[in-house]
Structure 1
């Protein structure tokens, strides 16, 4: 074999080639010594990718590998050798039921065209195993009559003629002449398959062209096609996408293989580390079964290291990495680069613009990125989600990261990371500025980020790409980029009041306080201590710590001799005191904040301070006064020159305050009107949490008026909006109210 020659030319040891290819060193050694004369195609392509062979070298290598094989002349295993039905097949109950229902229903209708199902998905998902299992479970003709491996991932897949020839060899008596022309073979297949109930399994299809000649009028049996691609060009077929197993099925799969009780914690961890991918689960089970001295915990510990995980998921000639390499080898150079660079992203899902940012400075257009992602989706390397988002499953992410380490220099990767971090931080400030009364000015990074057409788009981006922008923020913190850290936090502090349920604001502002302190600006430090106090109050409900932090903010503002920041510090002190139910002190602090804001003409501070004062009156039981404060604040907000983004925010919460006070005063009709106004503001803002809160208040008021059906309808809508917003506390309160209304209906 040429393998040793290519390996030595690359100056690779057996162990190093095994590490970067995912093929075990024993298998590589067996191929080099001709002990293994028929290595699997996926093994060969994994070696081709690792050795970085040219196209001509690849073809020569694959031709040489085929010389020792008994084949049909098309490469790979015998085209008509049906895969074994797995005796321990587990899971996929829903998928098999849907597939059988489709095949049997279409067969029973007497249609003149056979039902055609395309089972497609990422490498290692068990497409072939599922197809074989489903066909064997059919009530009618429970078997696979004709099977052809189309060698879809080989360098030279079967041609349409070779596919028909393989079928005809199985369908015709021995010795019957097989046509050597496509038209003649297609004609004979139509004749042979007419009125036949035999099922056909076409495995591992590369393209629609391989399949079309098999789909004939008159064939009564089912046709099942498996492919890593969706074969979108085939018409009149039903597609069955396969993803990872549900967690319970993944655990059951391992429990069945290892004769263990399901529910074992180590078993659950192992299934998770295998990403619930059937191939990975089978390999893990085989490894454990072949090592009696290992416990499940032993193997889990081996897989915990991300860099070792793929190398450990090898059993004999089965390897997760080799399966991934087959799809990777079929990508163009640019699409391979796109796939590799996706490993730089930290979120569980991503958008096309974020993927484009991972490609580096100016190297990829938006259209090119979307086309590249479509190709990755078609080959099963990336999963398409709703809302124009994508997901890279964990094991594929590790594989992509491995290819990035192997194929990009340290300097290239560092430049990519820096560009991505810069783009994310710029985009975060751009999004956060939509909610700021005074947008953060200046260029935060050399790389411009994405722009947003509305506050709703900005909010959606901040909530969807949280893992990535927050990761970039932490990188800036760890690198001591204090000015960037402070500016990002400053662009987000009003947004924090809109998305209180995130749960990480206290961490973000803790870091920004440290950076502000490092910059030595006391006024700025006071501002960030105030943001942190707000997070302790509203997010953590740690009012004592919030109070202590707010007093530090006041000290810094006093040292800076800045009355505006002193006003904000008193506002946060009052907020903390209200949380501690120190009502008289809270009222005094709120009044002090209002006076300071009035003195410097800071309406953006005066309005929330007045709103806080109204809520203190409400908590104190002074409901009429709370109504008066809220009514006056609404007039101030609607008549002021306050920026619309802040005015909407203040108006909404003031309407909520007014609605709550009116409800407590049993002025229900007025409360309904105010709740409707709040809902209109939330609709204008396209704000799920605002909609949920307004609908909750209106539903609660309808219930008080014994208008239970309207209450139930509002609360049902409120539940959905709270779920979209991800606010667990509000969702729980709404559900409790909705359950009570249902009982009273």
Structure 2
């Protein structure tokens, strides 16, 4: 910096100093930069502390500032710009709200009129669907969003926009799309059914009596869209796709065409202003022709001109014309957009180009600044600046609530091409590996907040302690928001031989997975970790993670046959390496599969074998596993009508807990003690000793609640409610009602049992 420049952070003083140094009055600078005198005066007096980046850039160019001075001026302005902050830790993922409407939307009048007519008189028996089709870059999404905003007041019960990513290598599946729609409609994540058909049925039920506006953007085919369409009700669905979706019956169609030349010029005029277009009317028409009247190409060219207020339209026309055959792509097929993207891309500074193309490697629908920083090899603060610059340039879209960014799908493809062209495979792989290692370290540290056997005082090996989640709430928010990214990192680490890190992360996730059984990706997590153990030649770890995989198949995706295969593979691995602990777990998980398959005797046999296997060992881990097997064995005996034998088994579990388990915390033992008490209460109830059962069940429920384990506390609440009902206790109905609602939210198999118990109680009260 030159001597005498004001301190960093005082934008007004800095601007006044630079203007005076240039020998310009406010009027002269106003005229040269196209910024009003009043605006300049407000900046210099401190009334406007943080002008927009575009204004600062224009002022810097007009004042002839060197790059470092321009950067200092921008930093001073940035300090004065308010930034929204989210209270209470990381922001929650946004709902499927409509994207912001485009202020300079142009043309499409007849198509809009037809759509407005369609929404005017809806028959609830046949909710209308309109399909907006056409080639890439025609503005299908912009048209649909604009129409949705015009129609929004007619649909007070919800306006949902869902990008189906039809151009991606792996478009959104109907199953995942239904889950997102159900969440947006207010269905709890844990209450969403596992199967696609069940999800579709629930969605049709939820949407059936609501006035909903549904925007399904970028569909790939009919099979993706059909399960998402409401069957009845006063709703309207707008679908956009590059494909005709001719197999969708009884739908209305809106086929967008290229803009007419005058419409393309009108769009350009709305972007750059009428003065510049009037000054070079023929150049504006030529530019529209060179863009092939493709709205996206016109928009990108217009944004480039807007960022350079002193550049003549004719200069851009000459540059486009000099592209030769590449410019032909602006008038045919997908090359239309690539040439326009290339112009916008080349005007970026090198580090912004790097950030844009590397961010295209991120997994999932959007990405965080941390992910962008890792892929681009930038400090986090600088990555945030690059992302904001690219958002201002129209090349990224920012989330409305969280600090996350997303690409237009075509631009993501273009940016990914630039990775191949400019970085090459070695740089690309290094960026992905660097990101994967960082993500897995953070995911591991975050997951350990939920491991009740982990010492909370032990240091967490987070890669960036300054930004690391602290406490369970922040850890859960991060693991949820970055689920796609850390799962992709796990895949990458497995594929590139980082098997130890895969195993460490999956092991850290063990308790967290038990608290989130409705997350179906646990099957993939533990499949990868079992594969990594196999690659390392560790039969003991292979057995452990095959057991985790059997758990995931049993409880997360309700596939007991696959669970049995995994449990049997774990049993073979455990016996091969002589690991009696994992042998016992494998027998137990196999028993769980048999139980779910209705093969009760085989389940009892395996559980008995598992309990004997574990009882013969002395380790603390074996005692905890033995407790699990004994509790399960007693439960099956009670269900088989052998409650007295069950009570004896569960009393044995209680005695083990009372004796203590060396090397295990009081909190862990208390949980297993509570499980034993719950089952003892159920055994006593089955033996009609209800007065003895009640306190045991209350103690179990209190322990589970204290440990914040809803997957364990709510079945205990159901058991207590049933006993209270049989006793005629006044708390029975309230207890059963709370249990039913919570079990539904958890997608627990016993939710139907809770509903039946509540109905039986109400029926008895009515009869009485």
Is contact 2:635–2:646 with CA below 8 Å preserved after alignment? yes
Aligned to 2:639: 619
Is contact 1:435–1:646 with CA below 8 Å preserved after alignment? no
Once the two structures are TM-superposed, the CA of residue 419 in structure 1 deviates from its matched residue by 0.7
Residue 520, structure 1, aligned to residue 537, structure 2: yes
User: Residue 610 of structure 2: which of 575, 578, 590 is its match?
Assistant: 590
C-alpha separation in 1, matches of 2:758 and 2:114: 37
Residue 381, structure 1, aligned to residue 381, structure 2: no
Is contact 1:611–1:629 with CA below 8 Å preserved after alignment? yes
1:126 counterpart SS class: helix
Once the two structures are TM-superposed, the CA of residue 642 in structure 1 deviates from its matched residue by 1.9
- Measured against aligned partners, the alpha-carbon deviations of 1:247-288 in whole angstroms (never above 9, x if no partner) come to 7699646699989795479999x9xxxxxxxx9xx9799xxx
C-alpha separation in 1, matches of 2:682 and 2:607: 19
C-alpha separation in 1, matches of 2:110 and 2:579: 77
Q: 1:599 to 1:341 in 2, by over 3 A?
A: closer
Is contact 1:695–1:718 with CA below 8 Å preserved after alignment? no
Once the two structures are TM-superposed, the CA of residue 131 in structure 1 deviates from its matched residue by 9.0
Q: 1:608 to 1:86 in 2, by over 3 A?
A: same
Is contact 1:553–1:569 with CA below 8 Å preserved after alignment? yes
Is contact 1:683–1:691 with CA below 8 Å preserved after alignment? yes
Aligned to 1:470: 487
User: Residue 412 of structure 1: which of 413, 421, 427 is its match?
Assistant: 427
C-alpha separation in 2, matches of 1:435 and 1:670: 34
Pairing 1:60-459 to 2, within 5 Å after superposition: 83-84=106-107, 86-89=109-112, 126=142, 130=146, 252=238, 263=249, 337-360=354-377, 363-365=378-380, 367-368=381-382, 381-384=396-399, 394-395=409-410, 397-402=412-417, 404-405=419-420, 408-436=423-451, 451-455=468-472, 457-459=474-476
C-alpha separation in 2, matches of 1:731 and 1:463: 25
User: Residue 714 of structure 1: which of 738, 743, 750 is its match?
Assistant: 738
- Measured against aligned partners, the alpha-carbon deviations of 1:18-38 in whole angstroms (never above 9, x if no partner) come to xxxxxxxxxxxxxxxxxxxxx
Residue 642, structure 1, aligned to residue 642, structure 2: no
Q: Which sections of structure 2, spanning at least 5 residues, go unmatched?
A: 1-60, 63-102, 121-138, 155-214, 220-224, 230-234, 257-266, 268-292, 297-327
Is contact 2:329–2:335 with CA below 8 Å preserved after alignment? no
Aligned to 2:508: 491
- Measured against aligned partners, the alpha-carbon deviations of 1:295-329 in whole angstroms (never above 9, x if no partner) come to xxxxxxxxxxxxxxxx9997799966789889979
C-alpha separation in 2, matches of 1:659 and 1:628: 12
Aligned to 1:604: 624
The number of residue pairs the alignment matches comes to: 495
Is contact 2:373–2:379 with CA below 8 Å preserved after alignment? yes
Q: 1:588 to 1:604 in 2, by over 3 A?
A: closer
C-alpha separation in 2, matches of 1:383 and 1:82: 20
- Measured against aligned partners, the alpha-carbon deviations of 1:580-619 in whole angstroms (never above 9, x if no partner) come to 3125413431331331234777433333233333323333
C-alpha separation in 1, matches of 2:345 and 2:732: 58
Q: Which sections of structure 1, spanning at least 5 residues, go unmatched?
A: 1-54, 57-79, 98-122, 139-241, 271-278, 286-310
Once the two structures are TM-superposed, the CA of residue 418 in structure 1 deviates from its matched residue by 0.9
Is contact 2:217–2:240 with CA below 8 Å preserved after alignment? no
Q: 1:330 to 1:463 in 2, by over 3 A?
A: same
Once the two structures are TM-superposed, the CA of residue 668 in structure 1 deviates from its matched residue by 6.5
Q: 1:504 to 1:255 in 2, by over 3 A?
A: closer
User: Residue 581 of structure 1: which of 600, 605, 609 is its match?
Assistant: 600
C-alpha separation in 2, matches of 1:244 and 1:340: 24
C-alpha separation in 1, matches of 2:406 and 2:415: 13
Q: 1:588 to 1:694 in 2, by over 3 A?
A: closer
Is contact 1:719–1:731 with CA below 8 Å preserved after alignment? yes
- Measured against aligned partners, the alpha-carbon deviations of 1:320-357 in whole angstroms (never above 9, x if no partner) come to 67898899799876566544433222223555544444
Is contact 1:530–1:568 with CA below 8 Å preserved after alignment? yes
C-alpha separation in 2, matches of 1:570 and 1:703: 36
Aligned to 1:25: none
C-alpha separation in 2, matches of 1:444 and 1:494: 16
Once the two structures are TM-superposed, the CA of residue 392 in structure 1 deviates from its matched residue by 5.0
C-alpha separation in 2, matches of 1:613 and 1:132: 57
Once the two structures are TM-superposed, the CA of residue 422 in structure 1 deviates from its matched residue by 0.9
C-alpha separation in 1, matches of 2:609 and 2:749: 28
The Cα RMSD (Å) is 5.9
Is contact 1:566–1:596 with CA below 8 Å preserved after alignment? no
Q: 1:477 to 1:633 in 2, by over 3 A?
A: same
C-alpha separation in 1, matches of 2:697 and 2:113: 53
C-alpha separation in 1, matches of 2:446 and 2:485: 14
- Measured against aligned partners, the alpha-carbon deviations of 1:214-260 in whole angstroms (never above 9, x if no partner) come to xxxxxxxxxxxxxxxxxxxxxxxxxxxx9969976996466999897
Is contact 1:696–1:718 with CA below 8 Å preserved after alignment? no
1:89 counterpart SS class: helix
Is contact 1:615–1:657 with CA below 8 Å preserved after alignment? yes
Aligned to 1:171: none
1:500 counterpart SS class: coil
Is contact 1:662–1:668 with CA below 8 Å preserved after alignment? yes
- Measured against aligned partners, the alpha-carbon deviations of 1:412-448 in whole angstroms (never above 9, x if no partner) come to 32221111111122233334444557769x9999967
Is contact 1:349–1:392 with CA below 8 Å preserved after alignment? yes
2:399 counterpart SS class: strand
Is contact 1:255–1:267 with CA below 8 Å preserved after alignment? no
Is contact 2:670–2:703 with CA below 8 Å preserved after alignment? yes
Pairing 1:536-551 to 2, within 5 Å after superposition: 536-539=553-556, 543=560, 546-547=563-564, 549-551=566-568
1:586 counterpart SS class: helix
Q: 1:703 to 1:447 in 2, by over 3 A?
A: same
Is contact 1:578–1:586 with CA below 8 Å preserved after alignment? no
Once the two structures are TM-superposed, the CA of residue 87 in structure 1 deviates from its matched residue by 0.9
Once the two structures are TM-superposed, the CA of residue 710 in structure 1 deviates from its matched residue by 2.0
